[in-house]
């Protein structure tokens, strides 16, 4: 009987140590959640970027996001990864394949390339998101919070 009690207590202790703790996300990173509208360098199209937590991959040192939006022609999805120190990277951009005007298609191709080349982000006091990238000049895209 005593052996069973000891084994039961050990199992209970092991199981209690395996429970997942609630993940806490830094406020700076949490502020990315929501929908943003591109305002610079070209806001002639209603380009959006929506951040949502990737619930299948909880944050640790790097916070994963499932991002989506609407470009000049197509809707798109991608994974974005952000760190507390402002680093950002993108992966797995996919989009619908609707045709558009040559101008809108050229804009979209550049926008997607710049988004995939994201390396850093900055949140400003006036609800602006600045994404720095290694793509086409001016190497920065500025978004305004929609919600």
Write out the two tokens for 109.
């191709």
Helix, strand, coil tally for the chain in percent (to 5): 25, 40, 35
CATH number attached to the domain at 23-145: 2.40.128.270
Do residues 107 and 72 touch, judged by C-beta distance below 8 A?
A: yes
Do residues 48 and 35 touch, judged by C-beta distance below 8 A?
A: yes
Write down the pLDDT at residue 9.
45
Write down the pLDDT at residue 55.
79
Closest by Cα among 124, 128, 130 to 145: 128
Per-residue b or e along 8-31, where b marks 16 or more CB atoms closer than 10 Å to that residue's CB: eeeeeeeeeeeeeeeeebeebbee
Write down the pLDDT at residue 33.
93
Q: For residues 141 and 5, what is the distance between their CA atoms, to the nearest angstrom?
A: 62
Write out the two tokens for 16.
């209690």
Q: For residues 109 and 45, what is the distance between their CA atoms, to the nearest angstrom?
A: 13
Q: What are the CA-CA distances from residue 2 to residues 5, 11, 144 (Å)?
A: 5, 14, 65
Write down the pLDDT at residue 95.
97
Digit-by-digit pLDDT tens for the chain (147 residues) are 555 545 444 444 444 444 455 556 677 888 999 999 999 998 899 999 999 988 777 666 788 999 999 999 999 999 999 998 999 999 999 999 999 999 999 999 999 999 999 999 999 988 999 999 999 899 999 999 998
Write down the pLDDT at residue 125.
86
Tracing tokens 């470009």 back to the chain, one arrives at 71
Write down the pLDDT at residue 16.
46
Write down the pLDDT at residue 79.
95
Write down the pLDDT at residue 22.
53
**Domain parsing of the chain, residue ranges:** 23-145
The HSE-up count of residue 110 (CA atoms within 13 Å, CB side) is 15
């Amino acid at each position: 009987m005593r052996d069973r009690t000891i084994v039961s207590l050990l199992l209970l202790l092991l199981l209690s140590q395996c429970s997942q703790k609630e993940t806490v996300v830094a406020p700076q990173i949490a502020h990315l959640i929501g929908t943003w509208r591109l305002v610079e360098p070209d806001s002639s199209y209603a380009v959006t970027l929506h951040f949502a937590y990737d619930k299948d991959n909880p944050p640790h040192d790097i916070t994963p996001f499932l991002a989506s939006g609407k470009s000049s022609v197509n809707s798109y999805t991608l994974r974005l990864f952000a760190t507390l120190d402002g680093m950002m990277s993108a992966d797995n951009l996919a989009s619908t394949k609707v045709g558009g005007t040559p101008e809108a298609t050229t804009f979209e191709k550049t926008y997607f390339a710049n988004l995939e080349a994201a390396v850093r982000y900055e949140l400003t006091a006036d609800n602006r998101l600045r994404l720095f990238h290694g793509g086409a000049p001016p190497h920065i895209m500025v978004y305004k919070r929609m919600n």
